[in-house]
Every structure is written in structure tokens, then in C-alpha cells.
């Protein structure tokens, strides 16, 4: 199942029904065969995974038609960019169904995320909801998948060979020997997926593995009494069992750690359950081992195995192969080192360091106070080795206990290795586990671990988790500047420059405090009830809090980025208008400033009706784009006329001022026939530049609908449902009127003061309700534009 990026709910619903029909058709193809399947397994990439989950919401869908669901880089929690309400409603329908019917849904589901290389879908969105009564769901990041251990981008997760092989191995192990189909046993399916995608013991999967193994045959038994032991095997002619008596070690040590560089799938470590010098039977501890890129390792807490008298390490007879087996006993306190991470606002200027001087093989570095998604660090591991004759490999594994998002770093020692440390999901409130840096080291080396805050990666986390909200902050800043321009026109009679008003009006303290106060008041029952009575939507800040995505000062950071973007987008639109006007003058004869200002030109009603018909019969986003182009054309024409007028004026400044006064006197003495002066034209262009900036963002937010319509134009001419159609019906006449609006015609309007006061509360509304629901942003923009247009008539 493929990736649909410009998904509309109509498409998603059609695709869901289509997949249902595909499943029924596929199963019919096998009807009458000896081992005919009764269900299918689905692998869904990106939105395909959501469509597969949506199958269960169909009224006529039988749940037992799907046996297994594996999704790859699928945003299960929420859409990446909620650009229309239909896709948000689709998500709500699917997720609510799965939550409310979790006890009835017996579908084993695995979600695989791409990790930090996936810039399209962040991994936090791919995690399936953790419900206490729904244990047949797993979520894992590809960097934590055994035998994969890499992050993938959004597309390569499909063809990543390591991940493909892991998936294929899992499917082979899921086959039931009797039915020749994927097993119906939910526990087995979950066990297989856990074996291949979560923790691999370097053994082939067995549904019921033999715990007790016979240790018989012609083998050499070698007792080992030291606490630290290494054996290099090369061209071994016979099998060897190395035995470690545990009685004395239990009195001194708490744990035992063993590792082997022989990465075969045979059992290699056992626990002896009798007290004789040679074990006849042993507990196969190999199932508790963990496969890593260069070793397989096992760590046991001795008190958990009181019945074991000896630990047995098996070295097979090999020819032409060389491998190393190490074992050591240790105290937990000696190998667990606490390292508090640096503060968020240290900006990398300070660091904390631990030095490992002991010659151990395994260490746990506890990263204290690390559990929030806005934290990001650089850990530098410096290894210094003595008398290194051959290549030695160390493995540094970042282990996140509350989520399967581990990552591994392999380093050749001696070396200096930098590790990026950040999270895909925040630590749950009721979780007391500590993030660990597991170090699989060399006994010949000393290690120095330094951690410091990475400010650049913190900004990266802000962009990763909140970058989608940036358009809302840009529009909020533009609205504040727009309101300032309207008020300056009302109070002084002239419109100030956009950049000046942006610098003066776009302040975070005008927006953020109101959002914070509303969020605080919603904690009170009476205010929440009043909120619900008014049918107001849920505050976006509360949605972010529920997803553990509230950063300190994140709104301030986004506001600064938004204001900066608003400034450059305004500059770009102003420069574009000037360049287009220059091109217009180069291609056509010079234009003149309009002698009489007409708010409704003869062709305006016809053009408006045509564009509304286009919106109704095709796509609302197309009509919005055409209206936008018409508006830009009008402003380019005005800019060209003003340039022509200035070039034609005499150089004598006194004559220029006299003619300007005469023009203004004539303008004031005429009520019904307003004339446009050069100053009025410049004022109008300043205002129009801001309006173009606002409209540009509306057009950009509606582009996905237009792109989707164009891609499917060969199938249907009318987009249905169309999220932009209601907006188009309002914006088309508004833009048509604004294209013929000049500041001289509205500065005396009774509605102007009211119009200048609206952008501030609307800028607050954009942040409060549009930061995680971008489709709401245009609803807040068209209101001041509509009031601006109505100023021509009131």
C-alpha cells in the first residue's frame, strides 16, 4: 500500500473501501484450494497504514479478514500537516474506534518508524496508543530493530534491505505448519514480532524452546575460578565446556556478563542445575542473550538464579574461524555510573564528565534528568587504549526504557566518538526509569564520557515537533502588522510601512499571555462548562500538553521565527510586485493613475460570478488561486501606474508640492468622484503589500487541495468533498473588492476603527486554535479582509 500525501478524506474513504474489495477479491482467488487462506496480512507504508486501520471502521467489514498489520512510517497519532478538517475528522474516527473497541480488536499490529532521518513523518506520530487492555500492538523505531540498527528516511524504509530481511524472516516464522498460513495464535504472532523487531537472542525463533538442554558427548570440561576470563578460539579441534562455579562469586558479586564474537545461532551459554563437576543437563540461557552488531551478550543478576550452581560457556569445534569469548563477574554499583545531563539553558557552554578507569567489559551510564523531547545533547566518548595490537570495537547503545527507540553507535578504539542524544517520545509521568548509555567496552581501554547541551539540536527538536505550527505564527504576526496599518490609517490618515508596523506591533506579549490565561482557566470546571456551552473547539495548547509536546518558551521561539518569516515574506512580495510592474512597463505602454476611483468596475460582478462558478464546479483552491492572481495583477498595474506618474513629474519640487496640494484640494472638495494622488497610491500600495502577504499564506495553505485535484483530474472534474469551497465563496468577492480599494476611499469609513481592532484578537485566535489545526488559519484571516472590503461601503 502506497503513500498518499495530498490525501483528502474522500480519497481516504474511497481507498479504504477499495482495499476492502481487494481483500475479498484476493481471498476468492484461493477459494477451493487445499490450504486456502481466510485472512490476509497487510504491510502499509505511510498513509497506507492508516487506511488499513480504517478498514475496521467499515460497517460491513469482518475483522477476521486481517490477520496481521505492519505499518511503516505511518503517522497514527495525528496528520503531519492538518491542512483540512476532513483528514482531521478521519483521524479522529479511526483512533476513537480503536480506543473504544480495543477489547474487541484482536489484530496484531506492528508500527515501524524511520527515526531521525525521516524528515516527513517524525517517529513520535507513528507510535500506536498504549492501552492496558490492548497488548497486541508494538511500536519500534528502525534504529532499534535487531539486524537493522539504522535510521531510514520516509521512502527508504520500504526498500531498506536490512528491514526487508527482518520482515521476511518474521513472516516465515509466522507460518503455521498445519495450515500453511499465518498463524491465528495471537501470542505466537506477538512473540515472533518481538523476537525479530525488539530483542533478538541470536537464535532461530522457536515457539516452545527447550529450556533444559543435555550437555553430553565427548567434550572437554575446563573449570574457571577467576572473576574475569577471556578465551580466544581458533581452529578448535574439539568442543570445550568452560564452567564457572557460582557459589563463591555470589558472596562477592551481583552480576555476571558474558559476550561472544561468534554470531551463530547455536546455544552457547547454560546454567548448571546440579552441583557435580560436570553437568549432564543445563538451563539454556542463550535465549536471554541479546544480539548486537559485533557481539552477542548476556547479563544475569545472580540472585535471580539461586538454583544454578555453575555457569557453563560452550565453545564449539571450529575450523578456520577465530572468535573471542569473555566473561566477568561484577558488582552493579561498580558498573552503574550516574551522569546528570546539563541544563537546557547552558547552551553547550558547560559540560559534565565521568571517567571510567576500571578494565571492565560493560558499563551503564545513567543519564539523570533526561526525559523530555526538548532536551538534546552531544555525548563525546574518548577511548584511550594501551598496547593495542589489533582492531578493537566498542559499542555504545542509547537505551530508552519507556519506548523502543534505542540507537547504536559502533566505534573503533582508540577514538573520539560523538553521539547525538535526543528523544522521539517524552517519558510518561508515571514512569521512573532512567535513560541509559550502555557501553560495551574493551578491557584494554579507559573511557571518558562528556555530555553537554546541544543548542542547535534543541532548535532542531523545536522544528521537528512544532515546525508545522510555524505558518500560524507567521500569519499571526502579519495580522498584528495589518491591524497596526489600519489603525494608523484611521488615526493619522496615512498607512505606515509594513516593516515598521511589524516591528512595532508583532510582539509576543500581545498574544501568548491570552493563550496561557485561557489554558489556565480551562483547568476550572465552571470555565470548561462555559467553554463547552459556547461550542468552542479544544485549545491547541491542551492538545500539545496531552501529547507531552509542551516546550519551555517554545511559543516565544516560534513567534520569533514567525515574525522573521513574516518580514522576509513581506519583503519578497513587495519586491515581486516591483519586478512585475517593471516587466509590465517593459511589455506595455505606460499606465496612468486612475482619475476616478470606482470600487466596483463594470467587469467586477462578471468576474466574481465566473470565479464562484469555477469554485463550485471544479476546485475551491483553484478559484482562490485565480482570485489571488487577479488581485496581484491589479496591484502590479497600480505600481506600474505610480512609477509612470513619478517619472513624468517635473524635477522642480515647488511645482510638485503645488500640484499635490491642488490634487488634494480637488479630492477634498469632491465627495462622489474621488481622485487618486501619488501619496494615496503609495499608501494604498503599502496596504496592498500586507494584504498580498496574508493572501499568499492562504493560497499556500490551500495548495494541497489544488495539487490533489490536479493529480486526479483525469478521474473526476469536481473535487468532492472540497475543504476550500466555503472559504472560496467568501474570499472571491472580498479579493475582487479589495483589488479596487484605495486608502483614500476608506480612511473616512465609520467601520475603519472596528476593522483595525479585529486583527489583534484574531491573531490570538490563530495561535490558540490554528497552531495544530492549520485549516482554521484562513478562517481567522478572511474576517479582517472582509471588514476591510466593507469599509468601502460604510
| Residues annotated as catalytic (active site), given as ranges | 46
Which residues fall within 8 angstroms of residue 717, CB to CB, at 6 or more apart? 617, 618
DSSP state of 221: E
Grouping H, G, I as helix, E, B as strand and the rest as coil, residue 432 is coil
Which residues fall within 8 angstroms of residue 491, CB to CB, at 6 or more apart? none
Q: Where are the beta strands (DSSP E) in 386-425?
A: 392-399, 407-413, 415-422
Q: Is the CB of residue 8 less than 8 Å from the CB of residue 708?
A: yes
Q: Is the CB of residue 302 less than 8 Å from the CB of residue 253?
A: yes
Grouping H, G, I as helix, E, B as strand and the rest as coil, residue 705 is helix
The edge-to-edge listing of strands for the beta sheet with 392-399 is 336-340, 362-368, 435-440, 392-399, 407-413
Grouping H, G, I as helix, E, B as strand and the rest as coil, residue 625 is helix
Q: Is the CB of residue 722 less than 8 Å from the CB of residue 622?
A: no
Q: Which helix (H) or strand (E) holds 138?
A: strand 137-141
Helices 47-54 and 9-29: crossing angle, nearest 10°? Answer: 70
DSSP state of 765: H
If we measure between CA atoms, which residue out of 772, 770, 742, 729 comes closest to residue 637? 742
If we measure between CA atoms, which residue out of 283, 367, 689 comes closest to residue 500? 689
Q: Is the CB of residue 318 less than 8 Å from the CB of residue 233?
A: yes
CA angle (509 as vertex; 374, 501 as ends), nearest 5:
115
If we measure between CA atoms, which residue out of 598, 548, 571 comes closest to residue 737? 598
Grouping H, G, I as helix, E, B as strand and the rest as coil, residue 78 is coil
Q: How many CB atoms lie within 10 A of CB 59?
A: 4
HSE-CB for 748 with a 13 A CA cutoff = 6
Grouping H, G, I as helix, E, B as strand and the rest as coil, residue 300 is strand
End-to-end CA gap in the chain:
56
- How far apart, in Å, are the Cα atoms of 659 and each of 593, 649, 655, 683, 747? 15, 10, 6, 18, 22
Q: Is the CB of residue 614 less than 8 Å from the CB of residue 607?
A: no
If we measure between CA atoms, which residue out of 792, 791, 789 comes closest to residue 753? 791
Q: Is the CB of residue 268 less than 8 Å from the CB of residue 262?
A: yes
Amino acid at each position: 500500500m502506497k503513500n498518499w500525501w495530498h490525501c483528502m478524506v474522500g480519497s481516504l474513504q474511497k481507498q479504504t473501501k477499495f482495499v476492502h474489495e481487494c481483500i475479498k477479491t484476493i481471498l476468492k482467488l484461493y477459494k477451493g484450494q487445499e490450504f486456502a487462506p481466510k485472512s490476509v496480512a497487510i504491510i502499509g507504508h505511510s498513509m497506507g497504514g492508516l487506511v488499513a486501520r480504517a478498514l475496521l471502521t467499515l460497517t460491513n467489514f469482518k475483522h477476521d479478514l486481517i490477520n496481521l498489520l505492519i505499518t511503516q512510517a505511518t503517522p497514527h497519532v495525528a496528520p503531519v500537516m492538518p491542512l483540512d478538517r476532513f483528514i482531521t475528522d478521519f483521524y479522529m474516527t479511526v483512533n476513537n474506534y480503536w480506543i473504544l473497541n480495543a477489547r474487541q480488536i484482536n489484530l496484531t499490529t506492528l508500527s515501524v518508524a524511520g527515526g531521525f532521518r525521516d524528515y516527513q513523518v517524525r517517529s513520535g506520530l507513528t507510535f500506536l496508543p498504549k492501552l492496558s487492555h490492548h497488548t497486541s500492538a508494538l511500536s519500534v523505531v528502525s534504529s532499534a530493530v535487531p539486524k537493522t540498527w539504522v535510521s531510514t528516511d520516509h521512502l527508504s524504509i520500504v526498500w531498506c534491505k536490512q528491514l526487508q530481511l527482518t520482515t521476511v524472516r518474521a513472516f516465515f516464522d509466522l507460518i503455521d505448519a498445519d495450515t500453511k498460513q499465518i498463524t491465528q495464535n495471537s501470542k505466537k504472532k506477538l512473540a515472533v514480532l518481538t523476537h525479530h523487531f525488539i530483542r533478538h537472542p541470536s537464535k532461530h525463533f522457536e515457539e516452545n524452546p527447550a529450556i533444559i538442554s543435555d550437555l553430553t558427548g565427548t567434550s572437554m570440561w575446563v573449570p574457571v575460578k577467576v572473576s574475569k576470563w577471556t578465551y580466544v578460539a581458533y581452529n578448535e579441534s574439539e568442543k570445550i565446556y568452560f564452567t564457572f562455579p557460582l557459589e563463591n562469586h555470589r558472596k562477592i558479586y551481583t552480576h555476571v556478563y558474558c559476550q561472544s564474537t561468534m554470531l551463530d545461532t547455536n546455544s552457547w551459554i547454560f546454567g548448571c542445575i546440579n552441583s557435580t563437576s560436570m553437568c549432564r543437563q543445563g538451563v539454556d540461557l542463550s535465549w536471554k542473550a541479546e544480539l548486537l552488531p559485533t557481539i552477542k551478550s548476556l547479563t544475569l543478576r545472580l540472585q535471580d538464579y539461586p538454583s544454578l550452581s555453575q555457569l557453563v560457556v560452550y565453545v564449539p569445534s571450529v575450523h578456520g574461524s577465530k572468535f573471542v569469548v569473555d566473561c566477568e563477574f561484577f558488582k552493579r554499583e561498580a558498573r552503574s555510573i550516574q551522569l546528570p545531563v546539563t541544563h537546557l539553558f547552558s547552551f553547550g557552554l558547560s559540560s559534565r564528565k565521568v571517567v571510567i578507569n576500571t578494565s571492565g567489559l560493560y558499563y551503564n551510564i545513567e543519564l539523570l534528568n533526561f526525559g523530555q523531547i526538548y532536551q538534546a545533547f552531544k555525548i563525546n566518548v574518548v577511548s584511550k587504549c594501551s598496547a593495542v595490537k589489533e582492531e578493537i570495537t566498542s559499542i555504545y547503545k542509547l537505551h530508552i526504557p519507556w519506548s523502543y527507540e534505542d540507537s547504536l553507535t559502533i566505534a573503533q578504539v582508540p577514538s573520539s566518538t560523538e553521539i547525538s542524544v535526543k528523544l522521539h517520545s517524552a517519558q510518561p509521568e508515571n514512569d521512573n526509569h532512567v535513560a541509559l548509555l550502555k557501553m560495551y567496552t574493551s578491557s584494554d581501554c579507559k573511557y571518558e564520557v562528556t555530555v553537554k547541551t546541544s543548542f542547535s539540536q534543541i532548535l532542531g527538536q523545536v522544528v521537528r515537533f512544532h515546525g508545522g505550527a510555524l505558518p500560524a505564527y507567521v500569519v499571526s504576526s502579519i495580522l498584528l502588522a495589518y491591524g497596526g496599518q489600519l489603525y494608523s490609517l484611521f488615526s493619522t490618515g496615512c498607512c505606515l510601512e509594513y516593516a515598521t508596523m511589524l516591528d512595532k506591533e508583532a510582539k509576543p506579549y500581545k498574544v501568548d499571555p491570552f493563550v496561557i490565561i485561557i489554558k489556565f482557566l480551562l483547568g476550572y470546571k465552571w470555565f470548561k462548562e462555559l467553554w463547552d456551552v459556547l461550542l468552542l473547539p479544544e485549545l491547541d495548547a491542551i492538545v500539545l500538553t496531552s501529547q507531552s509536546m509542551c516546550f519551555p518558551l517554545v511559543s516565544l521561539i516560534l513567534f520569533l521565527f514567525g515574525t522573521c518569516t513574516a518580514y522576509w515574506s513581506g519583503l519578497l512580495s513587495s519586491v515581486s510586485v516591483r519586478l512585475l510592474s517593471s516587466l509590465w512597463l517593459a511589455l506595455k505602454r505606460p499606465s496612468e493613475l486612475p482619475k476616478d476611483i470606482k470600487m466596483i468596475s463594470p467587469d467586477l460582478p462578471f468576474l466574481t460570478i465566473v470565479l464562484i462558478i469555477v469554485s463550485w464546479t471544479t476546485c475551491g483552491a483553484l478559484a482562490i488561486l485565480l482570485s489571488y492572481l487577479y488581485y496581484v495583477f491589479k496591484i502590479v498595474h497600480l505600481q506600474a501606474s505610480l512609477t509612470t506618474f513619478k517619472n513624468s513629474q517635473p524635477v522642480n519640487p515647488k511645482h510638485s508640492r503645488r500640484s499635490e496640494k491642488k490634487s488634494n484640494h480637488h479630492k477634498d472638495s469632491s465627495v462622489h468622484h474621488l481622485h487618486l494622488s501619488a501619496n494615496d497610491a503609495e499608501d494604498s500600495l503599502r496596504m496592498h503589500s500586507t494584504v498580498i502577504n496574508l493572501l499568499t499564506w492562504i493560497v499556500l495553505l490551500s495548495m494541497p487541495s489544488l495539487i490533489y485535484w490536479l493529480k486526479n483530474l483525469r478521474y473526476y472534474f469536481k473535487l468532492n468533498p472540497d475543504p476550500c469551497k466555503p472559504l472560496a465563496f467568501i474570499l472571491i468577492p472580498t479579493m475582487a473588492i479589495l483589488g479596487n480599494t484605495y486608502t483614500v476611499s476608506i480612511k473616512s469609513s465609520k467601520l475603519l476603527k472596528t476593522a483595525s481592532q479585529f486583527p489583534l484578537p484574531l491573531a490570538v485566535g490563530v495561535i490558540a486554535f490554528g497552531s495544530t489545526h492549520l485549516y482554521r488559519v484562513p478562517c481567522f484571516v478572511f474576517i479582517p479582509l472582509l471588514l476591510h472590503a466593507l469599509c468601502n461601503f460604510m
